[in-house]
Structure 1
C-alpha cells in the first residue's frame, strides 16, 4: 500500500546484503559480546546512514519509509545492527534539523559516506523521560564552552561520534530554555567513553556511557541556538527515535515469525508436523496478525512524514503498538518452542533477548500512552512533525498519489 518500486528494490538490496554479509557474523557477536566495529563500518559504507540526509549534503534523500525499510531488514538478521543504524539516524537528525549551513556541509557528508557514526546523548542516571531533570552542564568561557557530566545508554557510544550532547546551560528556573545541544568529538581532552559492558541482548551494539570532565569545545559546535537543547532532544526522539525503534521491532518480529514457522514445520509429533496442531496454528496466526498490524501502523506514520503531514500521534502509536505486539509474540513464540526456545543453539533465544531492548529508548510504553492521553485531552505540546518535517519530506513528484496506489478496477 505504501511501498513504491524504489522501496521494494531497496528492500531487496538491504536483505541480500544483510543475509550475505551480516548473518555470518551474528554468532561471533553473540559469543564475543563486544562492539562489532567491523560490521558497523561495513554497513555505514553502504550509504544507508544518509537515507534521510538531503542529496545536497551527500545523502540519499530517500525519506522516512526508506529508512524504516533499511532498519527493518537489518534488524531481521541482526537486531544489534538494526539498532546501530537507528542510533546513527538519530544522531544525524539534530544536524539535519538544527545545524547551520556550515555545520551541515561539514558533518552530514561524512555521516552519509559512513566515515562518522554519530550519537545523541541525553539520558542521565536520574533523568530519563523527563529531560529537564538532567544535571550535566556547560559554561561559557570566551569562544569555548566547557562541558561536565555523564550521559548513559548512548547508542553507538564506542564508534567514534561525533556525539550530540544535550546539557544544561541555564538555570533550572528557565525551564525548556535552560538546555542546549553541542557536537563533541571523541578526541577532546577530558572526554571519556566508559568501557563497554555487555547487556541482556543486542550483542554487537554499542550502548554505553560518556563522561565529560572540563571538556572544552568551540562555540561553533553548538547545535541550534542557546536554549534549543530540549527542542533538539524531543524532535530527534519523536521524528526519528520512535519510528526507528519501531523499525527495529518490526525486523525482530519478522525474524520471530519466520523462525517459529520453520520450527513448527520441522518439529514432528506422532509423525505429524507441530504446525498441524490447531493451537500451534492459531498462535502462529496471531503472531502474523500482530506483525501485519504493526507494520501497517509503522509504514503509515513514515509515509505521512514523507508527505510532510502532521503525524506525532501516529508515530507514538506505531512505537507503542509495535513494541507491545512484539512482546506478545515473544511469549507466544516461547510457548510454541517450549524448552527448545531456551537453548542457545537456536536463534529464538537471541531474538527474545533483543526484543527486551526496544521498549525503553525514546520513551517506554507508559510514556507513549501518557503522550497520547495528553493529545486526546487537548494538552499536547504541538506537532514536531509540522515544525520540522518539511526538511526531509519528499518532493511531490517522488511520492505516489493515493489514486496511483489503488489497483485497477
Structure 2
C-alpha cells in the first residue's frame, strides 16, 4: 500500500537530511573503525528504516517498490555500509517471509524485523555454490518433528550479528536441480549453528559478512518457510528479483553522489590557469557519467512501477542490476580520473567509493548471471510467441 504522497515526501526528505547531515560526516570514521556505532543503529530504528518494505500490518511502513527505490536513491549518497545495516531486514532477509511465509511465521518475526529488534540474514551462497545457486550442498534431513541441517554458507551479509537466518538446504535427492531445495527460518540460538570469523574485504568497511556453519543443527519442522518442502528455489528467485531493483537504485544514488563530488572538484581545481571543468575532456567524462546515471534512474523507476502494477519484471530487474552496477563502476573510475592524484588518496573518499562499488557487480547475481537470465528469458519469450 502506497503512503499518502505528502507523508512519503516527508519521509524522503527526512532520510535525505539524515544521510547528508548525519551519515556523510561519519564516512571516514566508519571506514577506519570498520564498525557502525550503536547510536546510529538506534537512530535508524527511530526513523523506521528497518521496516521500509515490511507491510504495515506487521509494524513496517509497507512502501511500494517505487517508493522503496526513491529511498534507496537517497541512501546511495553515503557509504553502502549504512544501507547494509537495514538492507537485509528490508530485502533478502525478510522478503521470502513476506512472500511465502505462513501467517504464524510472519506474526512471529516481521514485527521484530520492522523495528530492528532482530536482524535477519539470507543464507544461500556456499563455498561451491555462488552463481550456480541450484547446486547448493547444505542438507536438511527430516527426523520426526525436526530437521537436521548440515553444511556451510559463505559471505553471508549481516551474519555476525543476525538473529534470524533464511537458510536454503536440500531436503530430497531428486534429479531436478532446484526442485528439492527448501527454505528454513533458523534462529541464531539453534543448537549446531556457529559462525566463522568476519571476512576481510576489499571495500564496504562497516558491512560485515562471515560463514554460517551447520553441524547437526536441529530445527523444528515448523521452521520450513511456508510449511512446504521443495519451494525454496522459487522463493530465492522471487526475493532476488526485488533485491536487484533495490541494489540498482542504490547504485544510482552512489553514482549521483560521485558525479556531484567530481563536478565540485572540477570547478574549483585549477590547472593551466583555469578550472579543469573548462577542459572538454573533463566535460566529456562528466557528461558520460550524467547520461548513464540518468538512464539507470529511468530504468529502475520504470521497472519499479511495472512491478507495483503486478507485472513479471524478472527480465527488466536483471537489466537494471546489470546496467546500474556496471554504470556505477564506470562513474567511480571516472571520478578517480577527474580527481587525478587526489582521487587516489584516502582523504578525499573517492578511492573508498571506487572499492565499495566493485561489489555491486558481484552480489545478488553477477553481471554475467544477469546476462544469462536476460538472454534466456528473451529466447523463451520468442519461442512462446512463435
Give your verdict on TM over 0.5: yes
Cα separation, 1, equivalents of 2:39 and 2:275:
40
Cα separation, 1, equivalents of 2:354 and 2:311:
35
* SS, match of residue 285 in structure 2: helix
Specify whether residues 75 and 193 from structure 1 end up closer, same or farther in structure 2 by C-alpha distance, changes over 3 A only.
farther
1:83-134 deviations in whole A, cap 9, x for unaligned?
3333322111011011101111111111111111211110111111222211
2:287 equivalent in structure 1: 285
2:230 equivalent in structure 1: 227
Cα separation, 2, equivalents of 1:219 and 1:309:
34
TM-score (normalizing by structure 1): 0.88
Q: RMSD in angstroms over aligned alpha carbons? A: 2.1
Cα separation, 2, equivalents of 1:68 and 1:357:
19
Point out where structure 1 has 5 or more consecutive residues left out of the alignment.
383-409
**Matched-pair contact (CA < 8 Å) for 1:51–1:66:** no
Counterparts of 1:7-406 in structure 2, within 5 Å, are 7-34=8-35, 38-88=39-89, 89-224=91-226, 225-238=228-241, 240-378=242-380
Specify whether residues 37 and 198 from structure 1 end up closer, same or farther in structure 2 by C-alpha distance, changes over 3 A only.
farther
Cα separation, 1, equivalents of 2:193 and 2:40:
25
Specify whether residues 180 and 186 from structure 1 end up closer, same or farther in structure 2 by C-alpha distance, changes over 3 A only.
same
TM-score (normalizing by structure 2): 0.93
Specify whether residues 44 and 202 from structure 1 end up closer, same or farther in structure 2 by C-alpha distance, changes over 3 A only.
farther
Cα separation, 2, equivalents of 1:41 and 1:370:
41
Cα separation, 2, equivalents of 1:380 and 1:338:
47
Specify whether residues 257 and 381 from structure 1 end up closer, same or farther in structure 2 by C-alpha distance, changes over 3 A only.
farther
Cα separation, 2, equivalents of 1:154 and 1:379:
34
Point out where structure 2 has 5 or more consecutive residues left out of the alignment.
none
Specify whether residues 67 and 223 from structure 1 end up closer, same or farther in structure 2 by C-alpha distance, changes over 3 A only.
same
* SS, match of residue 140 in structure 1: strand
Choose 114-123 or 10-19, whichever is displaced more. 10-19
Specify whether residues 213 and 34 from structure 1 end up closer, same or farther in structure 2 by C-alpha distance, changes over 3 A only.
farther
1:202-245 deviations in whole A, cap 9, x for unaligned?
1111222111111111111110211111112111111x221121
1:407 equivalent in structure 2: none
**Matched-pair contact (CA < 8 Å) for 1:35–1:203:** no
1:381-402 deviations in whole A, cap 9, x for unaligned?
99xxxxxxxxxxxxxxxxxxxx
Cα separation, 1, equivalents of 2:219 and 2:275:
63
1:396 equivalent in structure 2: none
Aligned residue pairs, count:
379
* SS, match of residue 92 in structure 2: helix
Cα separation, 2, equivalents of 1:332 and 1:215:
48
Cα separation, 1, equivalents of 2:162 and 2:214:
15
